[in-house]
Structure 1
Amino acid sequence: MFDVIIIGGSFAGLSAALQLARTRRPILVIDADAPRNRFAAHAHGVLAQDGKPGGVILAEARAQLAAYPNVTQLSGTVRQAEALASGKIAFAVTLDDGKRVAGRRLILATGVRDVLPELPGVAERWGRTVLHCPYCHGYEIGAGPIGVLGRLPASVHQASLIADWGDVTLFTAGMPPLDGEALQLLARRKVTTESVAVTAIEGAAPAIDGLRLADGRLVPLRALFLAAPVQQASALAQQLGCVLEEGMMGPLVQVDAMKMTSVPGVHAAGDAARAMANITFAMADGVMAAVGAHHALITEEGQA
């Protein structure tokens, strides 16, 4: 019986594990090794780690955790999680290899999955020249022509934001008609619009030359941003009965200030439980979820 089982060993999960490791309590981290940012060559905006590959940062974190004898790290995917029928809060999780482990508290750091458009050229460039976060990637693009593929109403805000990094064209085919307020915002930010549908991304991937339009034109670009809807990467929150709420880009696990879900004993951290996502936010969430789980354990023990 572990005191805390952390499901997901990327930035939120490992940050939670480090905090709990230092409490000297027995904890378990289970990770499927599929971080959301695995498509990007480098991580940016992470204090003291700027420009380092995300996989390298995670490998260093796992190595540091291995120095704590109270931490167990398992590689695998959790297929099922359930509350144990006992007098106290406790859970059992089952891995894809059939292994079953139990813990007094759970932290779900299971992340989300980006839903990419079915546009030729997107998948092989995702995280390189087809991007979603200007704070993570905008500086490296430099200046010049940048596209924003309009998919959602939020694409107007995205285009106005990205205008700080270059000369932006918002491709509006497939979006609802832009109202006066949206057009005024785009004009203030010097964003141009293109209403002809995009048919493909061209260039030698992962580089990008531009977007081919339905009328045959090629619009030269240095990079393309898009707002990707998200799905929960794991069904565990739903299995456990956690309440989900609809975020701007898709469903998120509902949590309180201490990252507790609607299910007592289950915390959630990182992209699965927050709308604005990057590495530093995920790490901070992991710390808070760890503190919340630790406090909950202390409270329960005080009532024994």
Structure 2
Amino acid sequence: MDEQVDEQVLEQDGRVLDVVVVGGGPAGLSGAVALARSRRGVVVVDAGEPRNAPAQGAHNLLSRDGVAPRELLAIGRRELAGYGGEVVDGEVVAARRLGGGGAERFEVVLADGRVLRSRALLVTTGVTDELPDVPGLRQRWGRDVLHCPYCHGWEVREQPIAVLATSPVSFHQVLLWRQLSDDVTVVLHGAEPSEEQWERFAARGIAVVEGPATGLRVAGDALTGVELADGHVVPARALAVASRPLVREGFLPGLGLVPAPVEAMGVVIGTALPAGPAGATDVPGLRVAGNVADPMAQVGSSAAAGTMAGAALNAELAAEDADRAVAARRAGAALVAPRAEAAGAVRVPGR
């Protein structure tokens, strides 16, 4: 790595950055906007791999329902730029906490060698979705292979829907998809319903077939069915699956962040970074937001979490600024007051 580039520090207005935001999705951009509106020096580092990129539109997002994911991010970038924030396209490959007690507490290194140092850090890198190992499934992910009835259900309403049952969580999904169509078929792919679930499916007119699924049928770039091991094909215009969201670990160990298992219905369904209110972590000055902390969060809730985390970091920095100003004032008073008194100046109360 070139030494000169390695030592480069990106600054804004001649100052070390207040906050670096790692991740340029809804959570990261929203947090950055909150910080920039409070006149903080903030830079977002975006690797350009949004989780929902394959989807045609983002839904349940008031006033922007159906907006294309990348269009939404472009709008967010423009808003951030309007408040003086900046987006750097690149991938963070390493990060660490700095010692020495100075204002700079964090350092992040980009793949191209650039180095950014900041007083605080907001991590919003999201997750990747681990999918069932069915040929052709990944290629149709986010199009007609879906995971969230709230995100995509309306678009496939009243159409034949298959649900790939890989865990007990899948059986919970079945009832939600049944709300959208009266033609729902469960394909058993490693999971077995309980007696209560069998009864519910029968009462709701939900078909159940033995799997496993071995492939997908596609015609005219549209899903038409799910192939089974016994040769049968389940007609379907949409296939619902339970993905396994996993935190993008990468640079996290250098910050002391360790993903933890996320459980639902007695099974591990993914990983997330443990966080308290407003994305607080055990590392001072470091907060997390969005899917990296809550894999089930949708676009709107991720954006809201980013805003709250950004606001919390600004509050911490504001308190820190005040403490430093007080310390400087006291130090200045100790030096100036004796000379001021010798000149007959009136002493300010409290000094």
Deviates more, 1:205-214 or 1:55-64: 205-214
Aligned partners of 1:213 and 1:148: how far apart in 2? Answer: 13
Aligned partners of 2:37 and 2:18: how far apart in 1? Answer: 13
Q: Is 1:229 aligned to residue 249 of structure 2? A: no
SS in 1 for 2:178: helix
Q: Which has the larger radius of gyration?
A: 2
Q: What is the CA distance between 1:98 and its match in structure 2?
A: 0.7
Which residue among 80, 97, 105 is the counterpart of 2:94?
80
| Mapping for residues 167-186 of structure 1, pairs under 5 Å | 167-175=183-191, 177-186=192-201
Q: What is the CA distance between 1:233 and its match in structure 2?
A: 2.1
| Mapping for residues 261-280 of structure 1, pairs under 5 Å | 261-280=281-300
Residue aligning to 1:292: 312
Q: What is the CA distance between 1:67 and its match in structure 2?
A: 1.9
Q: Deviations over 1:216-239 (max 9, x none)?
A: 111111100100002112423333
Aligned partner letter, 1:174:
G
Residue aligning to 1:250: 270
SS in 2 for 1:124: helix
Residue aligning to 1:146: 161
Aligned partner letter, 2:132:
P
Aligned partners of 1:129 and 1:239: how far apart in 2? Answer: 38
Q: What is the CA distance between 1:243 and its match in structure 2?
A: 4.2
Q: What is the CA distance between 1:8 and its match in structure 2?
A: 0.5
Q: Is the 8 A contact 1:237 1:253 kept in 2?
A: no
Change (3 A) 1:215 1:285: same
| Mapping for residues 57-206 of structure 1, pairs under 5 Å | 57-69=72-84, 71-88=85-102, 90-166=105-181, 167-175=183-191, 177-204=192-219, 206=221
Identity %: 38
Aligned partners of 1:276 and 1:190: how far apart in 2? Answer: 28
Aligned partners of 1:282 and 1:90: how far apart in 2? Answer: 26
Aligned partners of 2:62 and 2:97: how far apart in 1? Answer: 38
Q: Deviations over 1:182-232 (max 9, x none)?
A: 323433443221113211100136411101111111111110010000211
Q: Is the 8 A contact 1:131 1:137 kept in 2?
A: yes
User: TM-score normalised to the size of structure 2?
Assistant: 0.82
Aligned partners of 2:168 and 2:253: how far apart in 1? Answer: 28
Deviates more, 1:144-153 or 1:5-14: 144-153
Q: Is the 8 A contact 1:125 1:206 kept in 2?
A: no
Which residue among 46, 63, 76 is the counterpart of 1:48?
63
Aligned partner letter, 1:289:
A
Residue aligning to 2:301: 281
Aligned partners of 1:79 and 1:21: how far apart in 2? Answer: 25
Q: Deviations over 1:234-263 (max 9, x none)?
A: 423333112433113211001111211121
The alignment yields a C-alpha RMSD, in angstroms, of 1.6
Aligned partners of 1:144 and 1:27: how far apart in 2? Answer: 46
Q: Is the 8 A contact 1:124 1:205 kept in 2?
A: no
Q: Deviations over 1:76-107 (max 9, x none)?
A: 00001100012157100000001111011100
Which residue among 17, 29, 54 is the counterpart of 1:2?
17
Unaligned runs of 5+ in 2: 1-15, 264-268, 325-351
Aligned partners of 2:51 and 2:86: how far apart in 1? Answer: 23
Change (3 A) 1:104 1:206: farther
Aligned partners of 1:232 and 1:31: how far apart in 2? Answer: 16
SS in 1 for 2:246: strand
Aligned partners of 1:247 and 1:206: how far apart in 2? Answer: 35
Change (3 A) 1:240 1:160: same
User: TM-score normalised to the size of structure 1?
Assistant: 0.95
